[in-house]
Structure 1
Amino acid sequence: MDFLQALILGIVQGLTEFLPVSSSGHLEIGKVLLGVDVEESLSFSVAVHSATVLSTIVVFWKDIVALFKGLFQFKWNEETKFVALILISMIPVGIVGVFFKDSVEGFFDGNLLLVGFMLLVTATLLTLSMVIKHKQERDINFFDALVIGIAQALAVMPGISRSGATIATGLMLGKRRPEVARFSFLMVLLPILGANFIDIVSGDFSSEAGVGIMPLAVGFVSAFVVGLFACKLMISLIKQKRLIWFAIYCAVVGSIAIASFIL
């Protein structure tokens, strides 16, 4: 992996991790276009995912500190309830990670047909979130957290956007837009950190000689900086109800991916 490839893939990861267009789907497309297998470069994958986690922590730093303060009061309050909601949302993706990890990894083989159809699914979810209207928006409850968690678990498929699926599901359930954005971005922190920890502990880095320090650093920094921008932008767009452009984008890219596979 050279400097330019690392820069491009870092930017793609930073943008698509937060914007509802599927980071996994775009990295699969990137593998085909650039001839780089990101999944085989475990150190690079860990680096760029860690960078986007750091972006989330920076953007939501005050919220995270407030959650810890409330949690360590050791009583039932808004912060404790929010942490409980996040833990419930992690159950579906935890089940997928423990029991279906090998099956899921089998989907990451550069199959543009699968990526294309899954991008169309993302486009459909985003469209439905704008079509389905609710007279009054409500706070997220425990059932909502589980349903949004199921949406996150489905987003392990390349082409289904994690942020798009969770945000669209929250909006379709009639939840408050600012809370949906906050919940969607904070709920992913522990699963990503957990996945990275497992990769580091059990991963085989013996074949990583081809990935130098410079590509890793470039990928990390570009993913972090772009991730900061994308996270803040996405929060603003959710509040402004401007997700239609992402639905159109996913539909167009998904159609192109399908056509490329067929032709």
Structure 2
Amino acid sequence: MTLFEAIVFGIIQGVTEFLPVSSSAHIVITQLVFGYTFPGLAFEIYLHLASVLAVILYFWKDVWDVIQGFFNFVIKRSPKDRVQFYFGLYILIATALTGILGKLLQDALGANLKTPAMIAGSLFLTGLALIFIERFHKVGNKDESSMTFIDAIIVGLGQTLAVIPGISRSGSTLVVGLLVGLNRETAVRYSFLLAIPVILGSTVLAFEDFSAAAFAYIGPLNLVVSFVITFVFSILGIIWLIDFLKKSKLIYFAIYCFLLAIFVLTMIDGNVIMEV
């Protein structure tokens, strides 16, 4: 890997991780453009860790409030911590469902996950979901205090689909959160906080891919540069998305997903994707 490629991968991961456009699809497509194949999942997970660090630092107060409220309620049964306890529980429920069902789905689909048809179809489905939630669904008024276990289960099921490149994790959790009646602010916050245990959990599951040989293949300088670039652009992506959602529409992301799906079907060699 060249330094230029490390920078590009860092930018792509950082920018797309939290936008509803599927970072995994963008990483696969970028590999194909460069004709580069990662050895295992180590480098992809490594870049995801930079993104999750950005979330933790940006939402540190929210993270601390949930953790503190969760354990205070468990230990002291303080009524004022009840909402944060249940919100933390809803994060754990959605994460557990994603971990279990996502692994089963991944094993069932196997190599088909990265075919042009699968990626393009998933991007198209993401676009349709964004249009539906924007144009045909009335935003609800549920917040953390009125969420339910059923809401958490449904969001977890939606997040499970994000193991498929082209199905956006942030997009699926945001869309499904709005679908079950969360207000936009709560759906966005829930989506971002869900990224933390999901990415950390995937790191543990992919631990066997981490090795000195795998990282030597990338190069020490490239590892440092790509991590820093991913972190910086993840922070910028978070700030930009939150501001964008206050003033604009999800339909613009839908249009982008459609265009990218067309690009994948018309410009990417299916045999190459199968080898990635």
Gaps of 5+ in 2: 271-276
Amino acid at match of 1:158: P
Q: Pick closer, same or farther for the CA change 1:48–1:262 going to 2, 3 Å.
A: closer
| Contact 1:56/1:228 (<8 A) preserved | yes
**Pick aligned residue for 1:96 from 83, 94, 101:** 101
Of 165-174 and 91-100, deviating more is 91-100
Query: What is the CA-CA distance between 1:86 and the residue it aligns to?
Result: 0.6
Which of the pair is proportionally richer in helix? 2
Structure 1 residue 256 and structure 2 residue 263: aligned? yes
Measure the CA separation in 2 of the matches of 1:228 and 1:206.
28
Query: What is the CA-CA distance between 1:172 and the residue it aligns to?
Result: 2.4
Amino acid at match of 1:134: K
Using the aligned pairs only, state the percent identity.
33
Map of 2:188 onto structure 1: 181
Structural mapping, 1:100-119, within 5 Å: 100-103=105-108, 106-107=111-112, 109=114, 111-119=115-123
Query: What is the CA-CA distance between 1:175 and the residue it aligns to?
Result: 1.2
Q: TM-score, normalised by structure 1?
A: 0.91
RMSD: 2.1
Measure the CA separation in 2 of the matches of 1:198 and 1:10.
22
| Contact 2:95/2:156 (<8 A) preserved | yes
Gaps of 5+ in 1: none
Structural mapping, 1:1-263, within 5 Å: 1-38=1-38, 40=39, 42-73=41-72, 74=74, 75=77, 77-103=82-108, 106-107=111-112, 109=114, 111-134=115-138, 136-139=140-143, 140-200=147-207, 202-203=208-209, 205=211, 207-208=213-214, 209-261=216-268
Query: What is the CA-CA distance between 1:67 and the residue it aligns to?
Result: 1.2
Q: Pick closer, same or farther for the CA change 1:195–1:250 going to 2, 3 Å.
A: same
Query: What is the CA-CA distance between 1:193 and the residue it aligns to?
Result: 0.5
Measure the CA separation in 2 of the matches of 1:29 and 1:160.
14
After superposition, what is the alpha-carbon deviation per residue over 1:85-104, rounded to whole angstroms, capped at 9, x for unaligned? 11111232122344344445
After superposition, what is the alpha-carbon deviation per residue over 1:206-247, rounded to whole angstroms, capped at 9, x for unaligned? 642321111111110111000001012212223335211111
Give the secondary structure class of the aligned counterpart of 2:163.
coil
Measure the CA separation in 2 of the matches of 1:161 and 1:79.
26
Q: Pick closer, same or farther for the CA change 1:166–1:17 going to 2, 3 Å.
A: same
Measure the CA separation in 2 of the matches of 1:31 and 1:71.
41
Measure the CA separation in 1 of the matches of 2:219 and 2:120.
32
Query: What is the CA-CA distance between 1:116 and the residue it aligns to?
Result: 1.1
Give the secondary structure class of the aligned counterpart of 2:206.
helix
Give the secondary structure class of the aligned counterpart of 2:9.
helix
| Contact 1:119/1:254 (<8 A) preserved | yes
Q: Pick closer, same or farther for the CA change 1:94–1:220 going to 2, 3 Å.
A: same
Amino acid at match of 1:142: F
Amino acid at match of 1:222: I
After superposition, what is the alpha-carbon deviation per residue over 1:174-223, rounded to whole angstroms, capped at 9, x for unaligned? 311110001001112112112112322x2262642321111111110111
Q: TM-score, normalised by structure 2?
A: 0.87
Runs ≥4 in structure 1, deviation > 4 angstroms? Answer: none
Measure the CA separation in 2 of the matches of 1:204 and 1:125.
35
- Count of aligned pairs between the two proteins: 260
Of 118-127 and 137-146, deviating more is 137-146
| Contact 1:47/1:219 (<8 A) preserved | no
Query: What is the CA-CA distance between 1:8 and the residue it aligns to?
Result: 0.4
Give the secondary structure class of the aligned counterpart of 2:17.
helix
